[in-house]
Chain A
């Protein structure tokens, strides 16, 4: 059977910086600058709104903290999507982040939160580098499958090594100190919210920069034209490896935050449905923009948490139908819908592919 080139998401939806082929480069650049200022403004507004959540919507603090943690992992998926690759095993790095915290917090009671985060970054980065060396040889569906295979091996180990990992019961993550301060639960909930928010904003900024950097452009070339990459002397494998490690680390950070908020590391974190969920959210939110990762997560988690109010036990049904509708009619996800609604991206939605 023939293998189509992997083109998960129409290019127009993927990048607002596809200026190279633009017919009117000058106008385009102008518009971009304007758009970027707007984006920066939006970024600041969202950051401020999130920063006041504990004072305005106190009861949602933990919900948003968990959404942001998961959004960090989705951000990692987004990086790979730029390279046209989809991993069905990234929940493994999420679990690695959580378990790193679990092991350390039970070995050293009262360990500092920053150390746990550092350990999670290190562990997921190293794991990402090792696994990445193998999996970056593959593309497309094989890339997805090999990642799946690794994550299921890891999942089975977590589930079976009862005396080390707590088996299917998982491990408790004891509440860490923050900068040496012992926190009560309510204080900890607020404190970790701000730490997560800080990391989320920082990651958004870094990923944004990364995707606009030459390495980020090279990552896009892995998707569109690997040979071109080789012409300019870049190895597609190492470009992809860089993106892979970055995505693994983001998942690891997401995992350590989720673990600390819940006080729990469980093998469920690494199960394949979780990996698929991350990809699902990326598609739901829209891979075109870093905002999609977090917007998608909030919608996903909100439906999951509150759908029961509408119709008992129906969140999978609602989300499944939503995703199908999005893929069939708005493959750019919520980001594209937003752009269509606000008219921010009118020129692009008029391209013939947009209606697909």
Chain B
């Protein structure tokens, strides 16, 4: 660090750092530990979503270290609270990378945070996995060398619920949206509404409400929605905000007059229990569900579920599943890069290179990283139902969509891609149906 700074004034130091750079290009010493910086919400209303992910990360790190680490190198986790505000978050992130020497970062949950974090990671030249944030913009708008996404983006994550809605409730005429007022809430609605226009131009949008991120009271919004009586109410909210909105809407009977589409509500099922009625369309921003119909009998799946339940008393929600994917990608990429490097510990450039085309598997269907750094991830959507053995609503009438069918191709922006949809595009997207077992 210090000599980097001196290089500004001294030719000698500049030469030194150049020498250091070239030698670093083909070999790296095996470190004593692999340091991972992870941003997640541990405070505020979003912490109900972020803390399970943190538990998942700890379980996974313990698991890796128990079997001797990654190629013999144990991992060490550093957590940063996204709830502390962008300024504190970015300062802490920089501190971790520059002073603590973190090797890889997983940042972040919020799309608003990712928008700031991705350029920062690129600038600091640290390999970053966008492990949960949804906005499709980052990798579509700019080219990154060090930033990758180990899950899908907003496009398939809202197109899948839309396809499901069009299939299961073809007759709706009006829709209202209540999204959080930040990048994710705005971007997800933009995708959803533009796609809806291509499929059902006759549907009228009767209200677009964007209460603040972290809002604790939706009373007036609920009144207005009751007065409007839209056929469908969409909300891509999550965390404590979604819980509060659902509770207040349920209390006042809003679920009886409108069909709810909650593409992120898999993460709220266990907290909401009876406050979430049956018949609500829910998704999980990926194919994540503790009773995943295709993978529930896999060893890895069962083992993780058990450990998670043991530690937290709950089944994993999709934030935990996204964390599993990030760790799976981490292990896979180090394996791949070490093999490609003839068994030597890889440099960060080699890691970044190995990310492209990487195959890995979390708790759902296998994933692959495209050449733009974006992963392709399947999507699970279903309808809530009350079933014996669970004191919360489970997901029934599931459909699993392949990710590649719902993604804009590499190099094409989602909104441009969507504008070219044929009127029956979404109804023809293939899906595999499953019932609750």
- Chain A: interface size category: 20 to 34
Residues of B near A190 (CB, < 8 A) are: 5, 8
A172 and B86 contacting across the interface, CB-CB below 8 Å: no
The answer to the question of B119 belonging to the interface, with a C-beta cut-off of 8 Å to chain A, is yes
- The 0/1 profile, CB within 8 Å of B marked 1, for residues 157-180 of chain A is 001101100011110100100000
The answer to the question of A59 belonging to the interface, with a C-beta cut-off of 8 Å to chain B, is yes
A103 to chain B, nearest CB (A): 16
A221 to chain B, nearest CB (A): 39
Using CB atoms, name the residue of chain B closest to A187.
B8
The answer to the question of A226 belonging to the interface, with a C-beta cut-off of 8 Å to chain B, is no
B5 and A169 contacting across the interface, CB-CB below 8 Å: no
B115 and A55 contacting across the interface, CB-CB below 8 Å: no
B5 and A61 contacting across the interface, CB-CB below 8 Å: yes
B424 to chain A, nearest CB (A): 32
B110 to chain A, nearest CB (A): 8
Q: Which of A224-267 contact B (CB under 8 A)?
A: 262-264, 266
* Given A159-B212, A172-B115, A262 and B4 contact (CB-CB distance below 8 Å): no
B85 and A268 contacting across the interface, CB-CB below 8 Å: yes
A263 and B210 contacting across the interface, CB-CB below 8 Å: no
Q: Which of A156-212 contact B (CB under 8 A)?
A: 159-160, 162-163, 167-170, 172, 175, 185-187, 189-191
B4 and A264 contacting across the interface, CB-CB below 8 Å: no
Using CB atoms, name the residue of chain B closest to A186.
B4
A235 to chain B, nearest CB (A): 40
Q: How far is the CA of A47 from the CA of B186 in the complex (A)?
A: 47
B1 and A262 contacting across the interface, CB-CB below 8 Å: no
Q: How far is the CA of A170 from the CA of B182 in the complex (A)?
A: 9
Q: Which listed residue, B99, B111, B116, B213, touches A263 by the CB 8 Å rule? A: B116
Residues of A near B98 (CB, < 8 A) are: 59
Residues of B near A61 (CB, < 8 A) are: 5
* Given A169-B182, A169-B183, A264-B116, A58 and B213 contact (CB-CB distance below 8 Å): no
Q: How far is the CA of A172 from the CA of B2 in the complex (A)?
A: 27
B115 and A58 contacting across the interface, CB-CB below 8 Å: no
Q: How far is the CA of A66 from the CA of B182 in the complex (A)?
A: 27
Q: How far is the CA of A62 from the CA of B5 in the complex (A)?
A: 12
* Given A172-B115, A264-B116, A185 and B123 contact (CB-CB distance below 8 Å): yes
Q: How far is the CA of A58 from the CA of B4 in the complex (A)?
A: 10
Residues of B near A172 (CB, < 8 A) are: 115-116, 119
Q: How far is the CA of A59 from the CA of B99 in the complex (A)?
A: 8
Q: How far is the CA of A168 from the CA of B210 in the complex (A)?
A: 12
Q: How far is the CA of A298 from the CA of B355 in the complex (A)?
A: 42
Q: Which of B1-53 contact A (CB under 8 A)?
A: 1-2, 4-8
Q: Which listed residue, A55, A66, A169, touches B112 by the CB 8 Å rule? A: A169
The answer to the question of B415 belonging to the interface, with a C-beta cut-off of 8 Å to chain A, is no
Q: Which listed residue, B86, B123, B183, B213, touches A264 by the CB 8 Å rule? A: B86
Q: Which of B70-110 contact A (CB under 8 A)?
A: 85-87, 90-91, 94, 98-99
Q: How far is the CA of A61 from the CA of B94 in the complex (A)?
A: 13
Using CB atoms, name the residue of chain B closest to A55.
B6
Q: How far is the CA of A189 from the CA of B91 in the complex (A)?
A: 13
A203 to chain B, nearest CB (A): 23
* Given A61-B5, A189-B5, A266 and B87 contact (CB-CB distance below 8 Å): yes
Q: How far is the CA of A266 from the CA of B4 in the complex (A)?
A: 30
The answer to the question of B124 belonging to the interface, with a C-beta cut-off of 8 Å to chain A, is yes
Using CB atoms, name the residue of chain B closest to A170.
B86
A186 and B90 contacting across the interface, CB-CB below 8 Å: no
The answer to the question of A54 belonging to the interface, with a C-beta cut-off of 8 Å to chain B, is yes
Q: How far is the CA of A66 from the CA of B87 in the complex (A)?
A: 11
A48 to chain B, nearest CB (A): 17
Q: Which of B5, B94, B111 has the most CB of A within 10 A?
A: B5
B94 and A62 contacting across the interface, CB-CB below 8 Å: yes
Using CB atoms, name the residue of chain A closest to B84.
A313
A59 and B1 contacting across the interface, CB-CB below 8 Å: yes
B246 to chain A, nearest CB (A): 22
Residues of A near B186 (CB, < 8 A) are: 162-163, 167
Q: Which listed residue, B4, B90, B212, touches A168 by the CB 8 Å rule? A: B212
* Given A62-B94, A172-B115, A191-B8, A167 and B182 contact (CB-CB distance below 8 Å): yes
B156 to chain A, nearest CB (A): 22
A186 and B182 contacting across the interface, CB-CB below 8 Å: no
The answer to the question of B291 belonging to the interface, with a C-beta cut-off of 8 Å to chain A, is no
Q: How far is the CA of A243 from the CA of B412 in the complex (A)?
A: 53
B239 to chain A, nearest CB (A): 15
B133 to chain A, nearest CB (A): 11
- The 0/1 profile, CB within 8 Å of A marked 1, for residues 108-136 of chain B is 00011101100110011000000000000
Using CB atoms, name the residue of chain A closest to B135.
A169
Using CB atoms, name the residue of chain B closest to A162.
B186
Q: Which listed residue, A162, A264, A266, touches B210 by the CB 8 Å rule? A: A162
- The 0/1 profile, CB within 8 Å of B marked 1, for residues 22-64 of chain A is 0000000000000000000000000000000011001101100
Q: How far is the CA of A190 from the CA of B3 in the complex (A)?
A: 12
Residues of B near A185 (CB, < 8 A) are: 123-124
The answer to the question of B181 belonging to the interface, with a C-beta cut-off of 8 Å to chain A, is yes
A141 to chain B, nearest CB (A): 29
B182 and A168 contacting across the interface, CB-CB below 8 Å: yes
B406 to chain A, nearest CB (A): 25
A170 and B124 contacting across the interface, CB-CB below 8 Å: no
Q: How far is the CA of A170 from the CA of B113 in the complex (A)?
A: 10
Q: Which of B4, B7, B90, B99 has the most CB of A within 10 A?
A: B4
- The 0/1 profile, CB within 8 Å of B marked 1, for residues 283-312 of chain A is 000000000000000000000000000000
Residues of A near B87 (CB, < 8 A) are: 262, 264, 266, 268
Q: Which of B253-278 contact A (CB under 8 A)?
A: none
Q: How far is the CA of A58 from the CA of B2 in the complex (A)?
A: 6
Residues of B near A169 (CB, < 8 A) are: 86, 111-113, 115-116, 182-183
Q: Which listed residue, B2, B91, B119, touches A262 by the CB 8 Å rule? A: B91
Q: How far is the CA of A264 from the CA of B116 in the complex (A)?
A: 8
B119 and A58 contacting across the interface, CB-CB below 8 Å: no
- The 0/1 profile, CB within 8 Å of A marked 1, for residues 182-215 of chain B is 1100100000000000000000000000101100
Q: How far is the CA of A191 from the CA of B7 in the complex (A)?
A: 12
A266 and B86 contacting across the interface, CB-CB below 8 Å: yes
Residues of A near B183 (CB, < 8 A) are: 167, 169
Give 15 new A-B contacts, CB below 8 A, not counting A167-B182, A168-B181: A59-B1, A159-B212, A162-B181, A167-B186, A168-B112, A168-B182, A168-B213, A169-B86, A169-B116, A170-B116, A190-B8, A191-B8, A266-B86, A268-B86, A268-B87
User: What are 22 of the A-B contact pairs (CB < 8 Å)?
Assistant: A59-B2, A59-B98, A59-B99, A62-B94, A66-B91, A159-B181, A160-B181, A162-B182, A163-B186, A167-B183, A168-B182, A169-B115, A170-B86, A170-B116, A186-B7, A186-B8, A262-B91, A263-B116, A264-B87, A264-B116, A266-B86, A268-B86
8 closest Cβ pairs, A-B complex: A169-B112, A58-B2, A186-B4, A187-B8, A266-B86, A168-B182, A169-B182, A190-B5
Using a CB–CB cutoff of 8 Å, the interface residues on chain A facing chain B are 54-55, 58-59, 61-62, 66, 159-160, 162-163, 167-170, 172, 175, 185-187, 189-191, 262-264, 266, 268
